[in-house]
Chains A and B, each alone.
Chain A
């Protein structure tokens, strides 16, 4: 809708601040129950190695032992891989419709797996937005300031 603000309909669900990262790390899972869609925006700066990023699903936000990939019938996962031959900087977007999750199995949490450990690390940041929310305006808890 034209009159709504971006920050009223795009919830910041999870973020990693810009940093030089040399790690293979999962983050905590966030609940997608109140959002029909999500998008992960990954910003990659200078790097000396590969960057892998993937959205994973889980049936709990505290126990990642049940986590699994999100894949369609053709086996395509919510996964992006940039090797060091790419022309950095790069911006990656991973789109998600929540019906792609195994919601019948209770998998309505998603998490971000970011791996920059193959090489010397990379300058990265990302934000996971929940969009098409069930209720508006969305929470702005993770936003320091909004200039309307």
Chain B
């Protein structure tokens, strides 16, 4: 809708601030039950090695052993980017419709798994969009300038 603000309709569910990292970033799971869609915007800075990123689903945010890939029937691939190698600046986007989750099995939580083989500086934001209720929470936003 034209009159709504971006921050009223796009909930920041996960914010990974720019961080220099090597190896796997720790992550948790967020509930998507109030959103019809989500999108992950991965922003990668200087990196000599490889960067992998995948959206995973889970039925229990406290138990990572239940997590599994989001395998979309007919798509033939998981919700993961092709490996980035030796990059200086890349933006990658992973789109998700929540009907792609195994909601019948109770899998309505998602997590963001990022792994780097060498030091890299990265940031990402996972937005919940098409929300059931607007305006969405702005808890993870420090400041909104309208």
Contacts and interface: CB of A to CB of B under 8 A. Distances in A.
B143 A92 contact: yes
B146 to A, nearest CB: 5
A145 B18 contact: no
A85 interface: no
A147 B19 contact: no
Interface in A18-45: 18-20, 36-37, 39, 41, 43-45
Contact of A131 (B6, B87, B142): B6
Contacts of A129: 6
Interface residues of A, number: 45
A138 to B, nearest CB: 12
The binding surface of chain B is classed by DSSP as strand
A125 B81 CA distance: 20
Given A2-B130, A12-B91, A95 B45 contact: no
Contacts, number: 145
B132 to A, nearest CB: 12
A86 B142 contact: yes
A20 B12 CA distance: 23
B59 interface: no
A90 interface: yes
A29 B25 CA distance: 34
Contact of B94 (A82, A95, A147): A147
A143 B123 contact: no
A45 B6 contact: no
B113 interface: no
A20 B121 contact: yes
Given A17-B44, A43-B125, A90-B143, A147 B18 contact: no
Nearest to B46: A19
A18 B45 contact: yes
Interface in B119-142: 121-123, 125, 127, 129-130, 140-142
Given A36-B2, A92-B143, A123 B121 contact: yes
A119 to B, nearest CB: 16
A146 B90 CA distance: 11
Contacts of B17: 43-46, 88-91, 123
Contacts of B2: 36-37, 132
Interface of A: 2, 5-7, 12, 15, 17-20, 36-37, 39, 41, 43-46, 78-80, 82, 86, 88-95, 123-125, 127, 129, 131-132, 142-148
13 contacts: A2-B36, A7-B93, A18-B45, A18-B122, A46-B19, A82-B143, A86-B142, A91-B142, A123-B19, A123-B20, A125-B43, A127-B43, A143-B92
